[in-house]
Amino acid sequence: MNRQTSDRLLVRLGVVGTALTLGGCAWDGPMTTLVPRSDFARDILHVYGIITWASVVIAVVVFGALAWVLLRFREKPGTPLPAQIHGHTLLEIGWTIAPALVLLVIAVPTIQVIFRTQAAPVAQALDVTVLGRQWWWEFRYPSLGVVTANELHLPAGRPVVLTLEGADVIHSFWVPQLGGKRDVIPGRVNRLTLIPDTPGEYWGQCAEFCGASHANMGMRVFVETPEAFERWLAAQRATPAEPPSGLAAEGKAIYTRSACVGCHTIRGVSAGVLGPDLTTFGGRTTIASGLLPNTLDTVTAWIRDPGAIKPGAKMPALGLTEAQARAVATYLAGLR
């Protein structure tokens, strides 16, 4: 292969690679940071915008100066060696002051955002305690008497204070469209204050490596209108209208005589605290920290062998048959 053919091949490969890379980009994907849906996320995007434009200006200046130097002082046949110099006081002062000014422009809004997000919450703020566990999330609403797992519900337009606490190892709470990540550390309390402003479903993820199923430690945040949030809250507080029957009743019996009661809470049935609260399990859209949709088949498969779905899952396989697992899944599906 001659040099010309090789150059053409490299150009074509570069064009194809660039096209494939750009084809994988999305402006408004479920984990985008470019479509803010809270005041906190909007403040962070503003800081990123300043950094981006500062980087663009620096790149233009640097590459423009480099191009001028390459063209202006390129070697020509017969040209004598130019005069050699050492040091230039004004130039050295300039490239010391200029970066300092750029850092100052970036630092001021960054510090403002940091202090704004650490300010004391307002009186009407909704307080939610976030507990990071291997590998799922627990959400407690202390003032409302509600506990749920992996799906956080928030009212739009109301200030929210997320109190972040670790139960085992370091995790990191991150819902890109609602704000920047914040570490969840055992023995230390961190807080995240924001006002979600647009109803919708937002994906989140643990952003700190925390073990075998770190990548499977997701969550869903549902921002709802105040009326929809009150309806969800009423459903969380409600007691079952009538006891289960048929296959669901069989599933409840299996649940109550198995190890499930030692790990999970179902109001009026069991009071375990090691695993997620299952009192309103049937009303959730996903299972296994957002890994799978909440369907009868996926719940049955999870009950039979959790480790096959989520590596390292703390929940053991209980040795139930397919029929027994489906009965328990049917019972759980009715808990709304």
At 311, list the tokens.
């590596």
**What average pLDDT does this structure show over 128-145?**
96
Report the mean per-residue pLDDT for the chain: 91
The answer to whether residue 282 scores a pLDDT higher than 80 is yes
pLDDT of residue 1: 58
Domain map (residue ranges) of the chain: 126-237, 247-333
DSSP-derived secondary structure letter, 125: P
The strand pairing partners of 201, in sequence order, are 222
Task: Please check the confidence at residue 26 and state whether its pLDDT lies above 80.
Answer: no
Judge whether residue 88 has pLDDT over 90: no
Asked if residue 187 has pLDDT above 70, the reply is: yes
pLDDT at position 77:
84
Contacts 24+ apart (CB under 8 A), 233-238: 233/144, 233/146, 233/153, 235/280, 235/283, 235/336, 236/146, 236/148, 236/279, 236/280, 237/145, 237/146
pLDDT at position 143: 93
Query: Over 70: is that where the pLDDT of 3 sits?
Result: no
**Angstrom distance (rounded) from CA 284 to CA 290:** 10
* pLDDT for the residue 241: 66
Q: What is the mean pLDDT of residues 115-143?
A: 91
pLDDT category, 223, cuts 50, 70, 90?
A: very high
For range 95-121, the mean pLDDT: 88
The answer to whether 173 touches 194, Cβ cutoff 8 Å, is no
pLDDT at residue 60 greater than cutoff 80:
yes
* Contacting residues for 171 by C-beta, under 8 A, at least 6 apart: 132, 133, 183, 184, 206, 208, 210, 217
Measured CA to CA, the distance from residue 158 to residue 292 in angstroms comes to: 30
| pLDDT at residue 242, as a whole number | 80
Q: Give the fold, CATH level 3, of 126-237.
A: Immunoglobulin-like (2.60.40)
What is the CATH T-level fold of the domain 247-333, as seen in this structure?
Immunoglobulin-like (2.60.40)
Structure tokens at 94: 């300039």
Q: Is 247-333 the same fold as 126-237?
A: yes
Res 74: pLDDT? 83
- Tell me what the mean pLDDT of segment 132-157 comes to: 96
| Distance from C-alpha of 310 to C-alpha of 302, rounded to nearest angstrom | 9
Please compute the mean of the pLDDT values over residues 244-273 and round it to a whole number: 93
